[in-house]
Amino acid sequence: MDHSRREAFLELVRSRGPLVVPSMLMCDFGHLAQEVQRLEQAGVQALHLDVMDGHFVPNSTYGLLLVETFQRISRLPLDVHLMISNPEQYVERYIEAGAWTLTVHLEAVPEPGGVLERIRRLGVAAGLALNPETPLEKLIPWLSHCDYVVVMTVSPGYGGQQLQHHALEKAVRLRQDFPELLMEVDGGIKHANAAEVVRAGANLLAVGSAIFRHHDYGQAVSELEEQIRQGQTSEKGPC
Ligand code: DX5
Ligand code: ZN
């Protein structure tokens, strides 16, 4: 497979980030094409797909078939978050289904170097996610094997939870120590804390309920983008 998805995604984040990436967990699956269209019209640049297996997390959502469906109904890059045990068994199939990124959890694969390198070799951006309770020190040895990290700010499994500030602190520390690292923050991001998430160093903000519980997705996204701009301005400090 060529490397165009990986490079295109990383270039998108570097040139256009920080980006709001809607997490589709709470969308109306009865009207999927319209939901995607509403998000495209809102100007989003990628979709975040939460795959859960009922084993690694106590909830089960969707898998290959729905990722394939999203690929069919949208040209947006698909940011695929695998909350599954043994993700290494499914890498090729999720790439075939249309993933532009594949995130695996450090808690599911304690030695993730091999699977991350395989994802990269197959032309897809490789991400490593860390649960709120997992210490940052466990992630550091694997940084050279991934294209981005995902700092989970809720326990994975459900949308609509509160952001855990102690987990966001890990993003702050990572950003201080690794200024060039691409970082996604996932869980509990709302209009009220999006600026803080950007100040913590996020390049990608996976947002579910703050978009899907809003009656107007366009407004929800543009208000989040406004908060991102505010976070970037305050990040630089007074000139
Ligand atoms: C949690 C998922 C998230 C989450 C985002 O397990 O990975 O992507 O659903 O939804 P909100 O923004 O509602 O926390
Ligand atoms: Zn997610």
Q: Is the CB of 59 under 6 A from ligand 1?
A: no
Q: Which of 50, 53, 79, 147 is catalytic?
A: 50
Tokens of 71: 């690929």
Q: Is the CB of 186 under 6 A from ligand 1?
A: yes
Using the mean position of ligand 1's atoms as its centre, give its distance from the Cα of residue 115 in Å: 24
* pLDDT reported for residue 234: 81
* Cα 70 from Cα 81, distance rounded (Å): 14
- The amino acid sitting at 191 is H
Residue with tokens 């249309």: 98
Tokens of 140: 């550091």
Ligand nearest to the CA of 101: 2
Ordered per-residue pLDDT tens for the chain, 239 residues: 556 999 999 999 999 999 999 999 999 999 999 999 999 999 999 999 999 999 999 999 999 999 999 999 999 999 999 999 999 999 999 999 999 999 999 999 999 999 999 999 999 999 999 999 999 999 999 999 999 999 999 999 999 999 999 999 999 999 999 999 999 999 999 999 999 999 999 999 999 999 999 999 999 999 999 999 999 998 654 44
* Cα 205 from Cα 153, distance rounded (Å): 11
Give catalytic status of residue 79 as yes or no: no
User: What are the residues facing 174 on neighbouring strands?
Assistant: none
Give catalytic status of residue 50 as yes or no: yes
Burial tier of 215 (Cβ tally within 10 Å: 0-12, 13-18, 19+): exposed
Domains and CATH numbers, the chain: 5-234 (3.20.20.70)
**Angle, nearest 10°, between helix axes 217-236 and 32-41?**
40
* Cα 163 from Cα 215, distance rounded (Å): 22
Taking the CB of residue 144, how many other CB atoms lie within 10 A of it? 9
Ligand 1 atom showing the smallest separation from residue 190 Cα:
12
Going along the chain, which residue ranges are E strands? Answer: 19-22, 47-52, 78-83, 101-105, 125-130, 148-152, 182-186, 204-207
* pLDDT reported for residue 239: 42
Ligand 1 atom showing the smallest separation from residue 59 Cα:
6
